[in-house]
Structure formats: structure tokens, C-alpha cells
């Protein structure tokens, strides 16, 4: 902030300015306040600015616009810093950047380091663990002068909402100023280099810098207006949108105001008018004021007017008349507060926030008292840190010493933050995503969340996991600035049947259950969800955009039109936060505007009653609760108000729409509170949304409610024709005790290094492992997954390769065969993964008899990956050994498909052999990424490759031709023990001649 500039020696108001330099040094412009080192009225103006900010943060009534104090600081900073740099340039012909940054470092950074260190340590005592980790990241950002960009990223992210205020939020303005210093001083130094040889150096330097400044002011102000319209957080906190305010101050220091002989009444009017305008902003502005935008012009120009009023004209030595505002600002009390302003600004906000973290929300009288109490640490820091270092001759005599002080002031809080943050992360447990496949089954009915008692143990997800436990919908919950959803199809995307999930983020939280229900029936799921956008046609404002949410209206209209003109869904599921308005009549009318075109589609419509809104950061609370989260229960009356739409549906006032709800299990009974944790399941990821884990556990209950309502047909048993005409031939979920073998009914082992009779040594691919049936290599993990683990003893590698017992999986005549598995690849990459070759694939049944006839009999590689790359691919082998229509030995391959999380998360890999369409299709998470059509080869080659039974293979090879072709081979650095995990394998058929 502008108070970051050292005030210099005190001077009486009547003291004459310093003597200007001789004309040869650029003093041809005449006497000027540019040659004065100290303006007492500006020191007093700092007091006005900081008191406005403090009043705003204390929430004192009628002073809600006190945030404009920051704008005052920015203008002062631009004026003083530019004046200092230009004086140096004009008098010496250069700008010594080392000296400049040394002065700034020893003046600013030590006090900031003391506050950051205090916050890092106090946060370990006063805040809960999850909040503590956020705080330590804030300390790092503040110490490195990038706090504003950290807070920009948080405040522009709708899904990051619901977190508590940071004790270091006010460091955003300090970061903006420090970034300005880093940019402005070198820029002026470059300008001075080009103007140093000018005959009239002072005028040349000022003229060039003024032109540059004018351009920056114009560009920055235009950007500020644009961002205020489109992203208020970026406009308010971003450095580029604030540069123009520094530039206004800079122009005050650059332009020849001192050559003007203004009438004294005009000066009085200018000064008092500026002061009055600042006061008016403090009283008239509030949180609803679009800011900065045009509104920031008033405090910015008002500050410039106050500064300008006290600039002496030609021949004047002092303009602080008896009635000028400068005389008031230069008084002893304002100057005392101005001197303290930097440290007071640093301390007051952490005191307020950390006190509320311990005591709860406080009213404005208590906040005012705490703000006044912050004077004590501010005085101590100024007395024992700031002033000794600023006045130290030892530190100031060499620039490198001041810079060393600055570097030390950065390193100290960074080290503390890393120590405290690392210890806290270790305390909270893993932050990796929860494997939802291992969750206990949820209850379909009754008062319990789970089908069986969860017993004792930690909550799932843990608080750190909960904070990031979003639906895995690949960013299909579109951001506030986006006006149209992508296709966002999941599951059996080629199925003509689909469920549509429609609404805001409270609809998006049901993504995983809806995808599971769609997939069980062979349907697809289409997600049309927009963050913070009410599905009823209400006009609302967006907190992220800081204005009317026009993008919401555009998106809603587009989504309804797409549903009207597209294929008819089997089911439309809608949900929305029910708190966008308290006017029930307005809400009912808004819902009717949306439901009318939805009813016209003719598909069943089900409304999921809105879930509880805790209104507090639940993961943070649970992270600090010693009782498993019981202390984090929240008030039922505030969290679960009557749902207006559900009530009207129940009364029969909304024809064509059915309502279901799960609040009776999320907030059971009729007591005054709702739980944050049930059956060891942490229910909420923030202050308003369910964790994905909770949603997954609720899937059986949602299925029962939807089927009971008649909106959803029951899923069929394996072997029976199911929804969409699919018949399931095989499904293995790999349930069983940890360390046991996969089902011998479904799987058999390949052993050794080749098939019986060894028609192709090393499995025909040059692999170096020996396949075994040991549970060291192939085993169940006890949580519903199969593990295939490569191991090594000495130089000898072992691994696992299993095949389905059945080899008759074939598409019916004219029909479709679908083979699918959910797989997480070995979590190893880089040199440690050299030679890893996990695969899920099929071979033609004829190969079981002598294992000859490859590749003509057909091979479909559903999923392969090599060398720990973040890529996967699919291939088809057929035809003849060399060349031919299938381009052997490479085959008809998709090439690498990027998949950044395929090593750490389960993904669905599928292949469909569609005889009716004459093609084979490869899928990754429901998206078709590769096709091979019958037209690419002669009819005989096609028929022999696909029109017959196949068996399935799962294995992890080590070494071989494909890893070598990719550029790596197994060696001493290859790390054994990383399993490929398989959650489930499914085979099903439909169409054609099946019964």
C-alpha cells in the first residue's frame, strides 16, 4: 500500500522545499514539489485511507464503502514512487534499481514477515486442521507477493465457494503494490536510458514517462471496465485492472502542475471537494456497487484532487493555508495514524479473522474493539521491527544488505508455512481420491444410510478428500461465464435411451447415481448442469461475475431447446437450489416457465427435493472435531426449509412431474439438528453440496424411489433381456476376501512364457516375465477389485495373465457384442515404469485349439498402455502376418489417447462389435475414440476376425516389442509391485437374432 513508502525526516509545514538542481541537471522546469522529500498532508491522507478500510472491515454501520481506502492508497503510492524515481533520474541521469528495491525490501518486508509468521503459528493453534492447510498456502502466496492471484483463483471458482475468510485476504492489495513496484521501476529505468542524453533531461524524462503512463492508464482502465462486467473478482483483485490508479498518481508527479499559479479559492475547493468525495464514497458505496469499474473513478480522482490541491505553484513555497484540507491532514493526530497505517493494516484483519475462528461470528461492536486492539501489535512492530531496520546505517549503507533483509523476510514465513502445512497434511491423512468401488452398500430403504453397520473407523471421505470430492463428470458442470453445455454424454452413448440430468450444481451432485442407474440399463446419461444457475426462470446475480447472470438465461434457454429438438429421453431428472428467492409466488411462476416446455417433450420428469444446506464449511469443522463430526451438526430449521416445488407437486399443483427426496436419511428424525456425518460417511464437501461418496451411497435409495414412482424401469438380472435390449452374459465384480483368487467359474490362468506347445515363445511378443497363478501376482484386494501385480526376484520377473473360461462371447447375427472393464492402470511412471505393459483384450475362440491362426482369427485390444505413459490405446489385429488390410504387425490402432488420471483412478474401457453396422467401436469412459469398419477389408477377412466367439484376457506384461518401440525396456530401474486393478468386467449382447 502507499504507506509502504518511508516518510523521510519530519519537516515543519512552513519549511522550504529542497533547492532544485542546476539547470544542467534537468532542473529547467523550475521549483517543484518533485524536489520535496516529504508531504505531511499525504501522511495524514494515509490515515484517512486506513481508517476507512478498518471501518469497513469492522462492519461499522453506514461505512460500508470503506473499501475505497485501498484506492486512496494506490493513488498515493503511484504519486510518491514515481516522484522518487523521477527525481533520481533527473538529478543523476539514471535509476539505481538495487538501491530502490533495497529500500523497499527493508521498509516493507520485515513487518509483513512478522505478521505472516505470527499468522502461521497462531493458525496452528486457533484454526481446525483443514482450515490450517488453506491458511499455510495463503502464507506462502502472501510471502511471495502473489496473494491476489491466489484469491482470484478461489473467488472465480464457483466450486471453491463456501470456505471461511482467509486471515491474509488483505494481503491482496500489498501483492498488487509490490507487483507494481517490480514492473514500474524497471520500466522507468529503461525510459531513462533513452532520455539520459537529452539536452533538457528533466523535461525529456517527464514527457516520455508521462506518455507511457497515459497509455497504461487508458489501457488498464479499459481492462478494469471489461473485467468488472465479466469477472468482478478478477477486476477487483487483479493487478492489470488496478494499474490505472497508480498511473493517476504517477501523472500527478509527472505533469507540470507546479508551473500553474492556481487561485487559492480554487485550491481550497479542489482539496475539500476531493475529501468530501472520498467521504461520500465511504458512506454511499456498499457490496452492491459494481466495483471497481466506473465507480472507482470517484475515490481515485478525489484522492488526486486532495494531492493536487497542496502542490505549490510557480514561485510558491507552501500552499497549506489556514483553511485548506492539507492543513487538517498535516495535523499531529492524522500524521501519527498515517505513520502507523502500514502496520495497522497488516495486523487488524488477522486479529479479526482468527478471533472469529475461535469465538464464532461477532457483531460490529466486538469487531471494532478487536480492530482497536490491533493497534498494540502494530505499534510494537513499528517500534521494534520497522523503524530499527529502516534507520540502521549498517543495513542501509549497502543495497545488498537491504536485499538480504528482504530475502530473509520472505524465507522465514515460507519455511514456517511449509513446516506447519506439512505436519497438518500428515495429520489429516491421504488426499488421494476415494475409491468409490470399495464403499459399503447404501440402504435402499429405512432410516439408515448404509445397508449394514459401518462399525468404527475414520470418516470417509476424510476432510481433505471431501473438499475435492466432486462428481467425476469431466467439467460438465459448466462455469458461470459459459453459455452452452457440451454434449456431456456418458455410459452407453450409442444407446437411443438416455437419462437427462438437468439443473444447477445441486443437480450435478447426483451425477454418479444417475450414471450408475443408466449404465445398469444399458442407457446413456446426458448432463446439462450450470453452476449457480437456477433451473426455474428467475433473474439472478452471479457472485463470481458480480452482475446480472445473463449467461444463466442463455444457457437455460439453450438446454431446453436442445431437449425439445433432440431425441426423446427415457427420463428427465431435475434439481435446483431452492433459495434463489423467498417469494413463493414468483418461484412458482418461474418453475412453470421451465416445466411447461419440459412436459411438452413427453418424457417422465422427476424432481429431486433439494438437500440440506449446512451453511458452514463442514469438512473444515469435521477436521477439527474429536467426536467423529458430531459437534458439526447444524440447525435443521435453517438447513432444511420447506421445499416449495416439492410441496406443490405433493398437492397435485404441478401435473406431469413427480418428486422424490432423500432428506429423511440425510437429516433423520425431527430433532433440531442435522448430522454432518452418518455411518462414518462425511456427507458434505462444502457448505451446501453432498460429497460424491455420499451420493454414491445413496444410489440404491434413489433407484428404489425412482422405480417406485414408475419413472424408471427396474434393472434386469444377468442373462435376461434388459433395458435397451441388452442381455448380460458375464459380470464379475471381483468380490471376495483380500488375497484370494478370482472366481474359477469365470477365469483360468495362463502359465509360463507361452501357450501349450509353445507355438510362439515369450507369448509371441518378446516379453520377459513368467506368468504364474500365485496370489503374489493375481489376487483380489478385498474391496471389490482384482489386482494383477508384476514382481521381481533378482533379475527374474513374474506376473499374471488370466483368461475367461468361456470363449463363446459373440455378437448375435446382425447384433452387437459389448465387452467392458473398469480398470486403474499401474500407478508408476517415468523410468520406474520402463517395460510395463498392462492390457485388456480378446482373442478368437479358434486359438484355444492349438493356438494357431493369428492374426486372421482376430484380436481386439480393448485397452493397452506402455511404459507408464498417461495414454491408452485400442487396436484390431486381423488378416495376414505381414501387411494386408490390417497393416500387421501394428494392426489398425487408435494411437495414444491422453488420459491423465488413468493411473490413479478407475476408467471404463469398452469395445463393441456391431455386425449390423459393420464396425468395431472403442470407448473410453463412454466416449467413442476409435472405429474400424468392415469397409476397410474384404468380407472374408472381416467375417473371420469378428463373426465368432472370443475369450477375454487380462494381464500385465513386462518388456517386449511394444515397450521397446515406445522407447523403453525393462531394466534395473524398473520398479516391481505396481498392480493393474480391475473393478469389474462385463460382457453383454443385444439385437440381431437373440431371443
pLDDT tens, residue by residue, 331-355: 999 999 999 999 999 999 999 999 9
Q: What is the number of other CB atoms lying within 10 angstroms of the CB of residue 40?
A: 24
Mean pLDDT in residue range 301-314: 86
- 365 pLDDT above the threshold of 70: yes
Tens-place pLDDT, residues 85-105: 988 888 887 889 999 999 888
Confidence band (pLDDT; 50, 70, 90) for 200? low
* CA–CA distance, 52 with 45 (Å, rounded to integer): 11
Is the model more confident about 406 or about 778?
A: 778
Q: Which residue, 167, 140, 174, is CA-closest to 412?
A: 140
Q: What is the pLDDT of residue 721?
A: 53
Q: Which residue, 848, 821, 820, 850, is CA-closest to 948?
A: 848
- 474 pLDDT above the threshold of 90: no
Q: What is the pLDDT of residue 199?
A: 44
Phi, psi of 600 (to 5 degrees): -65, -20
**What does the angle CA 264 – CA 270 – CA 275 come to, to the nearest 5 degrees?**
130
- 706 pLDDT above the threshold of 90: yes
Tens-place pLDDT, residues 448-468: 999 887 677 889 999 999 999
Q: What is the pLDDT of residue 932?
A: 95
Tens-place pLDDT, residues 390-424: 888 888 788 888 889 889 999 999 998 888 888 88
Report the range of poorest mean pLDDT among 132-136, 156-160, 251-255, 583-587.
Answer: 156-160
Tell me the CA distances in angstroms from 623 to 54, 120, 545, 618, 692, one per residue in order. 31, 18, 31, 9, 18
Confidence band (pLDDT; 50, 70, 90) for 697? very high
Strands 605-608 and 907-914, bridge-based pairing: unpaired
The mean pLDDT of the chain is 88
Percent of the chain with pLDDT over 70: 91
- 29 pLDDT above the threshold of 50: no
Q: What is the pLDDT of residue 995?
A: 39
Q: pTM value?
A: 0.71
**Residue 454, C-alpha cell as written in the block:** 459401518
Mean pLDDT in residue range 634-648: 93
Q: Which helix (H) or strand (E) holds 644?
A: helix 644-650
Mean pLDDT in residue range 645-671: 92
Mean pLDDT in residue range 476-496: 90
Tens-place pLDDT, residues 253-273: 988 776 666 667 888 899 999
Report the range of poorest mean pLDDT among 383-392, 545-554, 721-730, 814-823.
Answer: 721-730
* CA–CA distance, 647 with 506 (Å, rounded to integer): 18
Tens-place pLDDT, residues 42-61: 999 999 999 999 999 999 99
Mean pLDDT in residue range 417-442: 83
Distance of CA 251 to the CA centre of its chain: 39
Which of helix, strand or coil describes residue 407?
helix
Is the model more confident about 453 or about 12?
A: 453
Q: What is the pLDDT of residue 871?
A: 95
Q: What is the pLDDT of residue 423?
A: 82
Which of helix, strand or coil describes residue 772?
coil
Tens-place pLDDT, residues 713-755: 877 544 445 545 788 899 998 988 999 999 998 999 999 999 8
**What does the angle CA 803 – CA 808 – CA 811 come to, to the nearest 5 degrees?**
120
Confidence band (pLDDT; 50, 70, 90) for 225? very high
* CA–CA distance, 195 with 207 (Å, rounded to integer): 10
Strands, sheet with 791-793, edge to edge from the N-terminal-most edge strand: 770-771, 796-799, 791-793
DSSP letters for 564-588: HHSPPPSEEEEE--S-S-S-HHHHH
Is the model more confident about 780 or about 21?
A: 780
Is the model more confident about 322 or about 511?
A: 511
Q: What is the pLDDT of residue 395?
A: 80
Q: What is the pLDDT of residue 120?
A: 92
Report the range of poorest mean pLDDT among 201-205, 624-628, 913-917, 953-957.
Answer: 201-205
Q: 799-828 as b/e, with b when 16 or more CB fall inside 10 Å?
A: bbbbbbebbebbbbeebbbbbbbbbbbbbb
- 836 pLDDT above the threshold of 70: yes
Mean pLDDT in residue range 663-675: 94
Q: 69-90 as b/e, with b when 16 or more CB fall inside 10 Å?
A: bbbbbbbbbbbbbbbbbbbbbb
Q: What is the pLDDT of residue 718?
A: 46
Report the range of poorest mean pLDDT among 27-36, 168-177, 393-402, 737-746.
Answer: 27-36
Give the DSSP letter of residue 93: S
Tens-place pLDDT, residues 589-617: 999 999 999 999 989 999 999 999 999 99
Amino acid at each position: 500500500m502507499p504507506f509502504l513508502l518511508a516518510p523521510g525526516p519530519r519537516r515543519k509545514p512552513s519549511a522550504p522545499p529542497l533547492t532544485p538542481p542546476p539547470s544542467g541537471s534537468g532542473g529547467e522546469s523550475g521549483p517543484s514539489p518533485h524536489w520535496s522529500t516529504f508531504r505531511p498532508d499525504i501522511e495524514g491522507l494515509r490515515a484517512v485511507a486506513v481508517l476507512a478500510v478498518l471501518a469497513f472491515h469492522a462492519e461499522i454501520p453506514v461505512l460500508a464503502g470503506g473499501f475505497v481506502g485501498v484506492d486512496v492508497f494506490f493513488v498515493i503510492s503511484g504519486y510518491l514512487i514515481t516522484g522518487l524515481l523521477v527525481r533520481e533520474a533527473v538529478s543523476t541521469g539514471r535509476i539505481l534499481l538495487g538501491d530502490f528495491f533495497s529500500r523497499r525490501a527493508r521498509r516493507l518486508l520485515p513487518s509483513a514477515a512478522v505478521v505472516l509468521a505470527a499468522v502461521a503459528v497462531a493458525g496452528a493453534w486457533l484454526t481446525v486442521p483443514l482450515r490450517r492447510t488453506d491458511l499455510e498456502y495463503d502464507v506462502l502466496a502472501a510471502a511471495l507477493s502473489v496473494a491476489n492471484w491466489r484469491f482470484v483463483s478461489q473467488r472465480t471458482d464457483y466450486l471453491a465457494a463456501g470456505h471461511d475468510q482467509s486471515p491474509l485476504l488483505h494481503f491482496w492489495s500489498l501483492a498488487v503494490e509490490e507487483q507494481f513496484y517490480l514492473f514500474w521501476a524497471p520500466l522507468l529505468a529503461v525510459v531513462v536510458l533513452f532520455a539520459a542524453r537529452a539536452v533538457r533531461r528533466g523535461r525529456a524524462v517527464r514527457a516520455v514517462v508521462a506518455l507511457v503512463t497515459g497509455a497504461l492508464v487508458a489501457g488498464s482502465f479499459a481492462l478494469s471496465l471489461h473485467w468488472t462486467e465479466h469477472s468482478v473478482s478478477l477486476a477487483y483483485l487483479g493487478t492489470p485492472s488496478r494499474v490505472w490508479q497508480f498511473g493517476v498518481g504517477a501523472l500527478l508527479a509527472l505533469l507540470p502542475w507546479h508551473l500553474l499559479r492556481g487561485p487559492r479559492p480554487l485550491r481550497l475547493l479542489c482539496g475539500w471537494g476531493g475529501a468530501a468525495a472520498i467521504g461520500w464514497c465511504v458512506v454511499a458505496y456498499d457490496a452492491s456497487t459494481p466495483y471497481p469499474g466506473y465507480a472507482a473513478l470517484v475515490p481515485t480522482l478525489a484522492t488526486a484532487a486532495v494531492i493536487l490541491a497542496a502542490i505549490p505553484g510557480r514561485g510558491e513555497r507552501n500552499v497549506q493555508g489556514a483553511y485548506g484540507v492539507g492543513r487538517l491532514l498535516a495535523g499531529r493526530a492524522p500524521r501519527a495514524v498515517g505513520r502507523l497505517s502500514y502496520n495497522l493494516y497488516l495486523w487488524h484483519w488477522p486479529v479479526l479473522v482468527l478471533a472469529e475462528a475461535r469465538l464464532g461470528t461477532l457483531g460490529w461492536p466486538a469487531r471494532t474493539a478487536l480492530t482497536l486492539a490491533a493497534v498494540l501489535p502494530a505499534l510494537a512492530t513499528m517500534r521494534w521491527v520497522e523503524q530499527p531496520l529502516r534507520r540502521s546505517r549498517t543495513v542501509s549503507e549497502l543495497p545488498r544488505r537491504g536485499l538480504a533483509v528482504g530475502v530473509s523476510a520472505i524465507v522465514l514465513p515460507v519455511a514456517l508455512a511449509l513446516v506447519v502445512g506439512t505436519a497438518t497434511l500428515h495429520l489429516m491423512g491421504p488426499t488421494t481420491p476415494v475409491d468409490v468401488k470399495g464403499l459399503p452398500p447404501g440402504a435402499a430403504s429405512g432410516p439408515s444410510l448404509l445397508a449394514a453397520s459401518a462399525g468404527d473407523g475414520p470418516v470417509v471421505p476424510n476432510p481433505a478428500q471431501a473438499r475435492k470430492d466432486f462428481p467425476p463428470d469431466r467439467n460438465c458442470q459448466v462455469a458461470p461465464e459459459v453459455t452452452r453445455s457440451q454434449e456431456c454424454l456418458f455410459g452407453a452413448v450409442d444407446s437411443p435411451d438416455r437419462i437427462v440430468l438437468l439443473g444447477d450444481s445441486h443437480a450435478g451432485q447426483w451425477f454418479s447415481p444417475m450414471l450408475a442407474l443408466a449404465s445398469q440399463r444399458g442407457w446413456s446419461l446426458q448432463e446439462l448442469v450450470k453452476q449457480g444457475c437456477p433451473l426455474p426462470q428467475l433473474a439472478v446475480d452471479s457472485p463470481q461475475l458480480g452482475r446480472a447472470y445473463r449467461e444463466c438465461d442463455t444457457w437455460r434457454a439453450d438446454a431446453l431447446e436442445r431437449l425439445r429438438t433432440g431425441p426423446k429421453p427415457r427420463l428427465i431428472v431435475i434439481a435446483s437450489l431452492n433459495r434463489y428467492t423467498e417469494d413463493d409466488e414468483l418461484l412458482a411462476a418461474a418453475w412453470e416457465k421451465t416445466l411447461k416446455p419440459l412436459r411438452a417433450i413427453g418424457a417422465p420428469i422427476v424432481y429431486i427435493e433439494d438437500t440440506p444446506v449446512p451453511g458452514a464449511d463442514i469438512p473444515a469443522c469435521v477436521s477439527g472435531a474429536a467426536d467423529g463430526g458430531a459437534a458439526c451438526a447444524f440447525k435443521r430449521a435453517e438447513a432444511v426449509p420447506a421445499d416449495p416445488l416439492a410441496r406443490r407437486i405433493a398437492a397435485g399443483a404441478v401435473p406431469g412431474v413427480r418428486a422424490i427426496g432423500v432428506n429423511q436419511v440425510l437429516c433423520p428424525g425431527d430433532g433440531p439438528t442435522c448430522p454432518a456425518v452418518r455411518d462414518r460417511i462425511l456427507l458434505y464437501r462444502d457448505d451446501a453440496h453432498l460429497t460424491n461418496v455420499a451420493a454414491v451411497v445413496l444410489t440404491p435409495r434413489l433407484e428404489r424411489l425412482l422405480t417406485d414412482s414408475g419413472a424408471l424401469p427396474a434393472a434386469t438380472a444377468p442373462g435376461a433381456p434388459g433395458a435397451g435390449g441388452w442381455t448380460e452374459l458375464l459380470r464379475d465384480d471381483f468380490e471376495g476376501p483380500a488375497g484370494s483368487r478370482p472366481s474359477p467359474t469365470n477365469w483360468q490362468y495362463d502359465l509360463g512364457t507361452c501357450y501349450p506347445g509353445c507355438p510362439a515363445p515369450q507369448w509371441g511378443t518378446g516379453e520377459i516375465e513368467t506368468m504364474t497363478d500365485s496370489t503374489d501376482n493375481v489376487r483380489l484386494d478385498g474391496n471389490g477389485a482384482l489386482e494383477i501385480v508384476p514382481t521381481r526376484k533378482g533379475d527374474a520377473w513374474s506376473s499374471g495373465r488370466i483368461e475367461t473360461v468361456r470363449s463363446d462371447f459373440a455378437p448375435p447375427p446382425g447384433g452387437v457384442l459389448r465387452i467392458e472393464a473398469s480398470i486403474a492402470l499401474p500407478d508408476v511412471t517415468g523410468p520406474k515404469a520402463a517395460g510395463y505393459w498392462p492390457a485388456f483384450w480378446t482373442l478368437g475362440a479358434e486359438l484355444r485349439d492349438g493356438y494357431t491362426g493369428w492374426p486372421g482369427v482376430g484380436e481386439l485390444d480393448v485397452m493397452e498402455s506402455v511404459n507408464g505413459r498417461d495414454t491408452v490405446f485400442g487396436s484390431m489385429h486381423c488378416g495376414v502376418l505381414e501387411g494386408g488390410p490390417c497393416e500387421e504387425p501394428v494392426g489398425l490402432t487408435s494411437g495414444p489417447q491422453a488420459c491423465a488420471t488413468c493411473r490413479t483412478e478407475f476408467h471404463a474401457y469398452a469395445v463393441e462389435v456391431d455386425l449390423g453396422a459393420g464396425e468395431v467401436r472403442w470407448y473410453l469412459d463412454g466416449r467413442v475414440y476409435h472405429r474400424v469398419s468392415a469397409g476397410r477389408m474384404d468380407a472374408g477377412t472381416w467375417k473371420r476376425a469378428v463373426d465368432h466367439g472370443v475369450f477375454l484376457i487380462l494381464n500385465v506384461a513386462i518388456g517386449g516389442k511394444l515397450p521397446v518401440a515406445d522407447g523403453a525396456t525393462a531394466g534395473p530401474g524398473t520398479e516391481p509391485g505396481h498392480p493393474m486393478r480391475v473393478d469389474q468386467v462385463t460382457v453383454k449382447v443385444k439385437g440381431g437374432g437373440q431371443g
